[in-house]
Structure 1
Amino acid sequence: MKLTASTTKTLKNGVKIPILGLGVYKAPKEETEHIVYTALKQGYRHVDTAQFYGNEREVGLAIARFLKDTPEFTRSDVFYTTKVSPTNHGYEQAKKSILESLEKVKEIGYVDLFLIHNPMAEPEQRLGTWRALQEFYEEGKIKAIGVSNYSIKHLEELLNWKELKVEPMVNQYELNPWLLREDLCAFCESKGIIIEAFSPLTRGFRMKDPLLQKVIEKSYPGKSPAQILIRWSLQKGFIPLPKSSNEQRLRANLESLDFEISDEDMKTLTHENDYFVSNPNFDPIKNCP
C-alpha cells in the first residue's frame, strides 16, 4: 500500500491518527505558526506539541489559518496532539492546565490527542492526572488520550488502576535503530497501544553513522540519513515525529513515505544490542520510579 501523509492508523476507540507527524519541540514561539502552516501546506496532517513547549497557541493558530485558506480541508483532516506538562501532575492541577490548553486552541475546537508528558511524579499524582484526562475525554473535548515516556511498570500501574475507565491509546517515547525498547514495544502492541517515536532522527547524533551511510550508498542513493531513519520507524510500525524548521527539510521528511527499505537493510540498520538515548539526562522509562 502506498503511504501518504494522510495515511492513518486506528486507535482502539476508532479515532484515525496520521502515520507521520511534525514535532515542534524547541520551535521558537515567534516562528512556530509559520513553520506549522508551511508544513500543513506541504502535506503534513499531524502536529505534535506540548504545554511544556510553550507554543500550543501558535500551533492552533496555524491549523486554523490553514483550514480557512484551504476550504477543501476540514478540521477532521488535521490531527492535533498536546501533552500535560510534568509540572501539572495531579487531578486539580492537570484539570486546570487542560482547560488552559483547550482555551489556547479554541479556534480549532478540540484536541485530537492529549498525552501525559512523562510519569515523573508520585503514583497518586500520575493517576490523578489520568482521572482529569478521562473526564475531558468523556465530555468529548478530547478525542483520544494516552501517555508519553511510560515504561511497562507505569503502564501496568495505570491499566490495573481500579478507577480506570479509559485505557491509554498511545505511548510516545524515544525510538531509533540504536534504541529498540523491544519489551516495551511488544507490551504496547499486546495492549493495542499505538507507539509514537519522538527524536526518530537521534537529534542528529547518528546521521553520519558509517553503517547508515554504507546502506544509503549501496541501496538508496539520493536519499538522506533523515529519510532513512524516518522510513525505518514507519516500517517498524511506529508513528515518527521528526521536527524541523527548514522548509526544504520539512518537504524532504515527507518524502520518506515514497520508498521502502528492504528486509535485509532493515536488519542491517537495526542495532539490537545498543541503547542510544539522545539526551542521557532524560530517560524516564529507565530511571523514573
Structure 2
Amino acid sequence: MQTLTLNNGVPMPTLGLGVFQTPPDETRAAVMAALDLGYRHIDTAAVYGNEREVGQAIRESAVPREEVFVETKTWISDYGYDETLRGFDKSAAKLGLDQIDLLILHQALPADFDKTLAAYRALEKLLAEGYVRAIGVSNFMVDHLTALLDATTVVPAVNQLEIHPYFQQRAVLDFDDRHGIVNQAWSPIGGITFYTGEGRQSVLDDPAVTAIAGVHGKSPAQVLLRWGIQQGRSVIPKSTRPHRIAENIDVFDFTLDADEVKALNALESGRRGGPEPENVTLAAYGHILIPEA
C-alpha cells in the first residue's frame, strides 16, 4: 500500500474503503474483509449512520489499531464551534476511538459560512489537543477554500471531492495542489454516474476506459483507480462485495502511460453527479440530525 504524506507530516494510505450508502448491517463485514485484504484506510461519516459498525470491525480485526487510518466527517447539522466539538464526541464514541486520524467537514455550507468557519476552528482545537491527527474538508470549491484560508490558521490536509474522468474539477485540484492540500476522490470509479441523470453512460462502460483495461488485463474500475493514484490523489472506492473489495486494491502492479492518462483526461464532461455545493443548505439538509452515541 502506498501512502501520501499530509501537510502536517502524517502518512495516509493512498487507497481506502468508503462506506457511503453501506447499510449498517453490511458495514462490519465489508470493513473486516477490507482489512483482511490489506486495506489500512477506512472512510466513513457521521451522516452515513455506520460509524459504530466501522469501529466494531476495527476492534474485531487482527490488524492493530495503530495501523488503520480512520477518517470521518462532521455533518452540517453539527456545525458551529461547540456543536462541532460535540459532533466529534459523538463520532469518537460510536467509533470507539480516543483519537481520529482525519476529521473533515462534510460540506462547505456556503449559505451559512460563519457556521462553517466556527466548525473548522473547532477542528483546529481538536487537532491542537491531539484528539485528531489531521483535519480537512469535503466538497469545498475554490471560493470556499479561499475564504477558509483567509479566516483560519491550519491549512486543510485533505479536500474530498467528486473526481472521476467525467468530472475532474481541475480548478479545485490545481488550487489544492498549490496549497499542499491532498485531493481525495469520492466516487473515483464514477459510481455516481450510474444513477444520476437520464441517458448518462457509466464511466466504467466508456470505450476509452474499456480499451485501456484490455491492454493491461485489468478491469475498468482498476484503470480508473490507477488514473487517480498516478496523479497524486487519494482514492476512496466503495463496495460491500469481497471480490470487488479485493479487485479495487489490486492497482499497484501496473502503470498507465502518458497517452492513456491523456485519453482519460479527455473524457471530461463538466457534468457533476453529486449535489451542487451551493445547494447544500441547512434548509434543505439540516433536518438530518446526528444521534448521540
Which of 263, 273, 278 is the aligned partner of 2:273?
278
d(CA) in 1 for partners of 2:189, 2:178: 26
C-alpha offsets along residues 90-115 of structure 1, whole Å, 9 cap, x if unaligned?
Answer: 12221211111111122x43100000
Instruction: Name the TM-score, length of structure 1 as normaliser.
Output: 0.89
Match runs of 1:32-47 below 5 Å = 32-47=27-42
Counterpart in the other structure of 1:212 = 209
Matches within 5 A, 1:122-201: 122-161=112-151, 164-201=152-189
Deviation at 1:188, TM superposition (A): 0.4
The question of 1:8 aligning with 2:29 is answered: no
Contact 2:165 2:203 in 1 (8 A): no
Identity %: 37
Question: In the alignment, which residue of structure 1 is the partner of 2:231?
Answer: 236
How far did residue 149 of structure 1 move?
0.3
Q: Are positions 1:265 and 2:263 aligned together?
A: no
CA distance in 2, matches of 1:287, 1:263: 37
Q: Distance in 1 between matches of 2:267 and 2:32?
A: 38
- Give the CA deviation at 1:287: 5.4
Contact kept, 8 Å, 2:123 with 2:135, in 1: the verdict is: yes
- Counterpart residue number, 2:198: none
Q: Distance in 2 between matches of 1:187 and 1:283?
A: 19
* Contact 1:113–1:146 (Cα < 8 Å) also in 2: yes
Q: CA RMSD in A?
A: 1.6
Which residue of 1 is the match for residue 12 of structure 2?
A: 17
Deviation of residue 278 (structure 1)? 2.5
Alpha-carbon distance between aligned partners in 2 of 1:191 and 1:287, rounded to the nearest angstrom:
26
Instruction: Give per-residue Cα distances to partners, 1:74-128, cap 9 Å, x unaligned.
Output: 322110000001221112221211111111122x431000000001251210101
Match of 2:108 in 1: 119
Partner SS, residue 91 of structure 2: helix
Pairs within 5 Å for 1:45-124: 45-66=40-61, 69-70=62-63, 74-106=64-96, 108-120=97-109, 121-124=111-114
Residue type of the alignment partner of 1:150: F
Residue 277 of structure 1: how far off its partner (Å): 2.2
| Counterpart amino acid of residue 273 in structure 2 | S
Q: How many residues align?
A: 271
Runs of 4+ in 1 over 4 A off after TM superposition: 286-289
Kindly indicate whether the alpha-carbon contact (under 8 Å) linking 2:212 and 2:223 is maintained by their aligned counterparts in 1: no
Instruction: Give structure 2 stretches of 5+ with no counterpart.
Output: 195-201, 282-293
CA contact (8 A) 1:176 1:201 kept: yes
Q: Distance in 2 between matches of 1:167 and 1:268?
A: 33
C-alpha distance in 2 between matches for 1:111 and 1:179? 30
What secondary structure is seen at the aligned counterpart in 2 of 1:178? coil
Per the alignment, residue 202 of structure 1 pairs with: 190
Aligned equivalents of 1:112, 1:226: Cα separation in 2? 27
Q: Distance in 2 between matches of 1:288 and 1:275?
A: 19
Gaps of 5+ in 1: none
1:227 alignment partner in structure 2: 222
Q: Deviations over 1:246-266 (max 9, x none)?
A: 000100111112211111111
8 Å Cα contact 1:180-1:272 kept in structure 2: no
